[in-house]
Copies of this chain bind each other. A is one copy, B any other.
């Protein structure tokens, strides 16, 4: 087995975007074993020199040139990082020049414009969406349900809460969620308070096996978690959603990013990426 490849994510800010990008690219090389190091807030020449020393040390130690994904706005700081004894791929450098040419203006080269509070109005919108979503988790209250951008329904533990929180956090969407409980399933109709919200309501489903597994971790050997009950609930919920013409997605094989993106796209909701 080959030695693991050292990968450094270096950024003058949080490094979240460059790490997501680098991870996404590296996922195309599944056979390569990786050891990752994140270096955020590298915003001075001194810090850049320290970062380079770490990269070079990793090279000496492993005898193998590390990968460096970087996003450094300041030219002098970037020049230091470029001296590292590794393959340095800087996103800022590779994209800012073509953008400057196309837009016919110089970029500001100002550090700290990403993931900063920046526009206070946008930022408050996001925090409000998170608070709204928490206050409307799991059918806690009907009050203000009409303010929701989206309302998710599904059986208990089908993935509603993480999906709603993700939509709020990442996209600034007010996402309420409402469980489909046995009474709804027996009556075969949506909870009455959702009837006026029809166009905003989306469903989540899940395979009975997976649901059984998730519920068993919480309440082992309960009727609630039994495979038989999970089969019944999932079938009844899907029937109800079909009848009520609620579009639904299966959360078993989709990540919360995928579910959220699908729903907002189909619902023509404008998303903001924070």
Contact A32–B166 (Cβ < 8 Å): no
Contact B257–A115 (Cβ < 8 Å): yes
Copies of this chain in its oligomeric complex = 2
Distance (Å) between the CB of A227 and the closest chain B CB?
A: 19
* A61 is an interface residue with CB less than 8 A from chain B: no
Q: Which of A29, A71, A92 has the most CB of B within 10 A?
A: A29
* A258 is an interface residue with CB less than 8 A from chain B: yes
Size category, A interface: 35 or more
0/1 interface trace, chain A 236-263, chain B, CB 8 Å (1 if under): 0000000000000000011101101110
Contact B107–A16 (Cβ < 8 Å): no
Contact A96–B25 (Cβ < 8 Å): yes
For A235, the chain B residues whose CB sits under 8 A away are none
CB-contact partner of A16 in B73, B96, B261, under 8 A: B261
Contact B165–A28 (Cβ < 8 Å): no
For A130, the chain B residues whose CB sits under 8 A away are 161-162, 165
The residues of A with any CB-CB pair to B shorter than 8 Å are: 5, 13-17, 19-21, 23-32, 38, 40-41, 65, 67, 71, 73, 87, 89, 91-92, 94-96, 98-99, 102-103, 105, 107-110, 113-118, 123, 127, 130-131, 134, 137, 159, 161-162, 165-166, 169-170, 253-255, 257-258, 260-262, 265, 271, 273-274
